[in-house]
Amino acid sequence: MSQYNLLQTDNAKPIKMWTKGVPVEEEAKTQLTKTAQLPFIFKHIAVMPDVHVGKGSTIGSVIPTIGAIIPATVGVDIGCGMIAVQTSLLAHDLPDNLLPLRHEIEKAVPHGITPKHKGRDNGSWQNPPSLIDDYWQQLLPSFEKLTEKYPRFLNTNNYRHLGTLGTGNHFIEICLDEADRVWIMLHSGSRGVGNAIGSFFIEMAKKDMENHIKNLPDKDLAYLQEGTEHFHDYIDAVHWAQEFARLNREAMMNNVILAMRKVITKPFTTHMSAVNCHHNYVQKEQHFGEEIFITRKGAVSARKGELGIIPGSMGAKSYIVRGLGNEESFCSCSHGAGRVMSRTEAKKKFTIEDQIKATAHVECRKDANVIDEIPMAYKDIDAVMTAQNELVEIVHQLRQVVCVKG
């Protein structure tokens, strides 16, 4: 017997929801139903247990399409995802005082954002190191091709944002697994340039559909049809942004490892024990005997044997998982715990004291600017994992000891 709940409405494709035992907002169900009404949805929409309302499209959804893509379902944080590395270090190799380690990581990776007109943006490089130049060279040929047609993307944070963390729920963490082995894990995407690409093509889709947009269930579901100029330009741009996001995480990981070596005197090695995986992206895949476009909006690919990363909230555990290749979910799983309240609501409900208590075991910032990321603003990660035990199996359970927030 399958674990998913079925949401079925008139004039819409079925919605299969792996949400047993976890809360789902009615607003999220409404948003999903609107997407399911589009004529080019293939078979059904799959919904992960971390599902919650998103801007333009529901976070925690897997949207299969034929002949069209909805830019707002990919969103503006194109290629956002995770990378994790297991090290040869054990817990007792870490210093007793973890504050210098956090500070060294914060120095090594630009993070956060400086408000406009308040001076140089601390979230970007002033003088990017040679490592960033090496990564940028891999991206440059396709970027030049993209900006030849769309020069607007030249005037974005691109090169100076490569190897930087960003804000919101983006983070860098030092974690311990069940055997007290030390892991490095981080979460980020395609930064300013990805945001510019996503925002531009969302507006292009609305403009291309201006004569038909009133017939859509929601104007944010404006789509680009395969065969049109903007569709193919979007595919090229989104694939470039996804590659930027992947290399962005790689560059940060390299700099975090260098920062750790400054603080931890014991020599250590690192090996990629988990993948560098997107959880906001679109690509062509084979499912049910058809080649289709799969958009994962806050979801991770979980093909049979494929490793993935499901982080909990700041102060809660995270998981390295192996996909079970469940075709009904289009071989997908959740991308995290999922929010149960908005950032604004969390800031109203909780105090700095609550944040200090909830993250007592983690070396991290404990100030008013990170209250919106308090663990209580997220779903119970254990309930989320139970709801998707036919999608993935757990390989490692991680607990944070250091967390750097943007």
CA distance linking residue 49 with residue 297, whole number of Å: 13
CA distance linking residue 316 with residue 359, whole number of Å: 8
- Residues 397 and 178: beta-carbon distance below 8 Å: yes
Indicate which residue of 44, 161, 187, 335 is catalytic: 335
- Residues 47 and 72: beta-carbon distance below 8 Å: no
SS3 label, residue 151: helix
Q: Which residues contact 144 (CB under 8 A, 6 or more apart)?
A: none
Helix, strand, coil share (%) of the chain residues, nearest 5:
35, 25, 40
- Residues 173 and 185: beta-carbon distance below 8 Å: yes
**What's the CA angle centered on 38, arms 35 and 40, to 5 degrees?**
120
CA 8 to chain centre: 28
Does the active-site annotation cover 335?
yes
Q: Which residues are catalytic?
A: 335
